[in-house]
Amino acid sequence: MPLTGTGEIVTAAGTGRGVGAFNVIQLEHAQAIVAGAEAAGSPVVLQISENAVRYHGGLAPVGRAVLAVAAAAAVPTAVHLDHATSAELVREAVELGFSSVMFDASVLDYADNVRATAEVVAHCHAAGVWVEAELGEVGGKDGVHAPGARTDPAEAAAFVTATGVDALAVAVGTSHAMLTRDAALDFELISALREAVPVPLVLHGSSGVADDHLATAVRHGMTKINIATHLNQVFTTAVREVLAADERLVDTRRYLGAGRSAMAEEVTRLLGVLNTAPRGLSVSSL
């Protein structure tokens, strides 16, 4: 199936349905995410973060591999650059064929965030690439959780107008890299943001959110749901179990394959939680 645009998947989701956006670190992750989405019969977004790019020593090797996996998927699949702080990296993703990027200038003050984001949006839109940005920094990217951060609805609406972004990541109580699923979301704020902001909302740090709260967040207006750490936990737990059962095992396919299978099953389950079979976009329609 040809690659699908992130914007197409998110727009088709409409209100009350979530889109699963799952992070890729290595090839097995991409394969697991696609296998899980195929089993669920749901569209999916494969994300490569700036940290993953740094791990691989550059975007092109991992980016081309993930694009190939996505293009071979039997369900609508998009490839997205996540948490890019470098405009140069954004330009490279556009050239490689990514359908969307998330430009993260949230550590800057408001005026500088607007200026930098608007420049990225202009470049990406000229190439037909969908842009996500962040307002109200979501904690945890540097290992420090800041669940107290909140995005102001009026400021968020003004930010979207000033920058022209296609989606907005907002701070509503989550934090990146959480190993427990007990984040306390501000559902009233999510509803207020949904009413004020004219573009889809994105929930970062969703690994720390329990299933029922993820579903509630979607009902209150979140659309794109980013999950990374939780799936890494599932993958790593399966690998540990295989290695613990056979200390003589050295074939990486045996234990990485186990991690891939476990992650695929969890992707399928999470897509069910998010109800990501959006109106107007089915496997058969693309």
Q: Among all residues, which ones are annotated catalytic?
A: 82
Number of other CB atoms surrounding residue 273 within 10 Å: 16
Nearest Cα residue to 178 out of 215, 146, 136, 207? 207
Nearest Cα residue to 228 out of 271, 183, 177? 177
- Bridge-based pairing of strands 167-170 and 130-135 is parallel
d(CA 13, CA 276): 7
Q: What angle do CA 72, 207, 65 make, to 5 degrees?
A: 25
CA dihedral 137, 264, 75, 132 (to 10 degrees): 10
Element (H, E) at 82: strand 77-84
